[in-house]
Amino acid sequence: MSSPPATPDACPRRIWSLAWPIILSNVTVPLLGLVDTAVVGHLPDSRYLAAVTLGATLFSFLYWGFGFLRMGTTGLTSQAVGRENDSEVRNLLGQSLLLAAGIGALLILCSRPLITLGLWLLDGSEIATDLATEYARIRILSAPAVLANYAILGWFLGQQNSRVTLAILVLTNGVNIALDLLFVVGLGMTSDGVAWATVIADYTALAFGGWLVSRQLGLLEGRFLRERLGRITAYAELFRVNANLFVRTLGLLFAMAFFTSRGAVQGDTVLAANAVLLQFIMLTSYALDGFAHAAEAITGRAVGRRRWDEFGRAVKSAALFSLATATAASLAFALGGHLLIALLTGLPEVRDTAGTYLPWMVAMPLITVWGYLFDGVFIGATAIREMRNSIFAGLTVYLPTWWLTQGLGNHGLWLAFLGFALVRSAVLTAYYRHHRRTRWHDSARPACTLL
């Protein structure tokens, strides 16, 4: 598994070669949502579309909460790759898959109260909620497959193989779209057909991912160790990393839910305008996530090899790509933001309202870019407590700022949200600079205080 150290010229190329499949695979995600909406939106009753929207929202939040299975597996695997420990790489996959299976089974066993509580919090109409409950009880059956796919994607990314991410997501979404059309248009099913299409697609992706895993395992030395897979104490490092990632994700979920709820109390028009503007953030994240994921894999390997020169070059290269992307996004929003709003909504009042708050979108990419970048760096270095702490620090500014600026209406809410992102980026940057001086450097050389 050994490979030569990255040279200064090779590092940007390596970042890009890892990032572009992730960026492209991210772009396929909204395509599936558009097809779901188009298929169900042409049924004769709008309650089916409402049901799918409620159910899909519930599972977006539920599964996002377990995204640590992808992130934690990436960080630990990339470090094992750096140490050239094939046995550790192999056993990390086994541990992550067993953990995914256990959590997935628990979600199915607890599905009734989870679905009831989640849909109650989403507060849809009675008819839509009844249909969404049926949808959710089908969708929850794929929980083990979804979580196992997270672990598989993280494992491959930790080995600097991001093209697997693209292959699996293209397959998943392709099968899902084809089955949507077959079940709903061809067989006359409704929201239940959309749910079954997703479940089958998730297990199809798991089967494909399992085949890819079996091929990769054939290239690795070592073997699965019973004491690593069957002894609970052997999971200590994985639990430590994943527990902090879980808490960090809960903090992010709270920040997003709070923003949505505070926008909702200002009326449907403001809520819709904020939803449109949040799509600007999602568009930016598709690219920034690609460079962050690339940084995870490369910095993790550098940490495992104790190659801090390689570590610094990886961070610098990812930072240059990320900053260029954020700058381009800000310029695009400044010059073409009103056109993009018009593409996302045809309602004049929502367009006008969203345009009022467009300047916040121009500033947002240049603030959030450092949070995305250093999330990737800290995942690669498995410095997860720092990521968790940055969320807490951001919330201590977010909530008081919102409270003090309520008189500004939605501008105050966006100011608070921007403050949350700014503090999170600043805290992660400060942690990074501190660790580069004290931990993440070659003790035989002068400590580095920059990227």
3-state secondary structure string across the chain: CCCCCCCCCHHHHHHHHHHHHHHHHHHHHHHHHHHHHHHHHCCCCHHHHHHHHHHHHHHHHHHHCCCHHHHHHHHHHHHHHHCCCHHHHHHHHHHHHHHHHHHHHHHHHCHHHHHHHHHHHHCCCHHHHHHHHHHHHHHHHHHHHHHHHHHHHHHHHHCCCCHHHHHHHHHHHHHHHHHHHHHHHHCCCCHHHHHHHHHHHHHHHHHHHHHHHHHHHCCCCCCCCHHHHHCHHHHHHHHHHHHHHHHHHHHHHHHHHHHHHHHHCCCHHHHHHHHHHHHHHHHHHHHHHHHHHHHHHHHHHHHHHCCHHHHHHHHHHHHHHHHHHHHHHHHHHHHHHHHHHHHHCCCHHHHHHHHHCHHHHHHHHHHHHHHHHHHHHHHHCCCHHHHHHHHHHHHHHHHHHHHHCHHHCHHHHHHHHHHHHHHHHHHHHHHHHHHHHHCCCCCCCCCCCCC
Q: Please identify which residue in the block is written with the tokens 């980026």.
A: 425
* pTM, full prediction: 0.88
The terminus-to-terminus CA distance of the chain in angstroms comes to 28
Residue 447 has pLDDT above 50, yes or no: no
Q: How does the average pLDDT of the chain come out, rounded?
A: 88
Q: Please identify which residue in the block is written with the tokens 């992130």.
A: 71
Lowest mean pLDDT among 275-279, 285-289, 369-373, 423-427: 275-279
Question: Which span out of 5-19, 51-65, 195-209 was modeled with the highest average pLDDT?
Answer: 195-209
Cβ distance 55 to 135 under 8 Å?
yes
**Residues 290-344 pLDDT 10s:** 999 999 999 999 999 999 999 999 999 999 999 999 999 999 999 999 998 888 7
Cβ distance 129 to 121 under 8 Å?
no
Q: What angle do CA 37, 189, 174 make, to 5 degrees?
A: 55
Residue 9 — pLDDT band, cuts 50, 70, 90? low
Helices 358-380 + 308-344 axis angle, to 10: 150
Residue 171 — pLDDT band, cuts 50, 70, 90? very high
Residue 37 — pLDDT band, cuts 50, 70, 90? low
What's the confidence (pLDDT) of residue 272? 82
Residue 147 has pLDDT above 50, yes or no: yes
Q: For the residues 78-101, what does the mean pLDDT come to?
A: 94
Torsion angle of the four alpha carbons 154, 158, 164, 168, in this order, in degrees rounded to the nearest 10 = 0
